[in-house]
Amino acid sequence: MTKIEFLKKLEAKLKGLPVNDIKEILSDYEEHFRIGLEKGKKEEEISLELGDIDQIAAQFKVEAGLNVKPESKRSTVAKVFIAIGMIFFNLTLVSGVYFGLLGGLIGLFGGSIGTAVGGAGGLLLIVFSPIVNVFVPVVLNNIPFMIFASIGTACLGTLWFIGNCIIAKYFIKLTVMYVKWNLKVING
């Protein structure tokens, strides 16, 4: 491959990078050709020594932070059969466990919110005790205990909710990782 062919193909493969970066990369490779020609090498030799254009472009794109994925070697028919198998596997084995864990997580959130609201309700009961005292006279006999119990319950519910948020974050991360793994298996 000649110098001009090499540089044109490289430029085409570098699309997606900033224009200034492409110009700089092409300039560097022109310099490689210039030095090689001064040493008496032919353009075809130099282009072979520089390597595969696809790999060169992919390397620059990875360094620039662009998402570069190699093409799959699987046929479309194979992908369809693998996808059907993955759907069957996920529906029969994974979905029960997944939705059970999801239900448990939703239950934990409900419990934490209920606990926090119950503690806050206890504090409201104390604040409005003159009005509510007619309806709930037994509960308000020991007001200092009621204050500490309500604050403690509200704090417990809040901490429990924060813990649930952390668990949910990891649950979502694992879900995304599992979906990506499924796609990786299907695409090869």
132 near 118, Cβ under 8 Å? no
Interhelix angle for 95-127 vs 143-187, to 10°? 160
For 145-156, b/e burial (b = at least 16 CB within 10 A) is: ebeeebeebbee
The pLDDT tens digits of the residues spanning 139-155 come to 556 778 888 999 999 99
What is the C-alpha separation between 154 and 139, in angstroms, rounded? 17
Within 13 Å of residue 23, how many CA atoms lie on the same side as its CB? Answer: 3
pLDDT for position 66: 73
pLDDT for position 183: 87
Within 13 Å of residue 184, how many CA atoms lie on the same side as its CB? Answer: 7
What type of residue is 25? I
Domain boundaries, the chain: 3-63, 76-187
The residue with greater pLDDT, 27 or 165, is 165
The pLDDT tens digits of the residues spanning 159-183 come to 999 999 999 999 999 999 999 998 8
Average pLDDT of the residues in 68-90 = 78
Q: Which residues lie below 8 Å from residue 50, measured CB to CB, with a gap of 6+?
A: 6, 29, 32, 56
Query: For the chain, give me the number of helices (H) and strands (E)?
Result: 8, 0
Average pLDDT of the residues in 62-76 = 67
Q: How far is CA 115 from each of CA 101, 112, 153, 178, rounded to the nearest angstrom? A: 21, 5, 6, 33
Among candidate residues 97, 110, 100, the one with its CA nearest the CA of residue 161: 110
4 near 45, Cβ under 8 Å? no
The pTM of this model reads 0.54
Residue whose entry in the numeric block shows the structure tokens 């879900």: 175
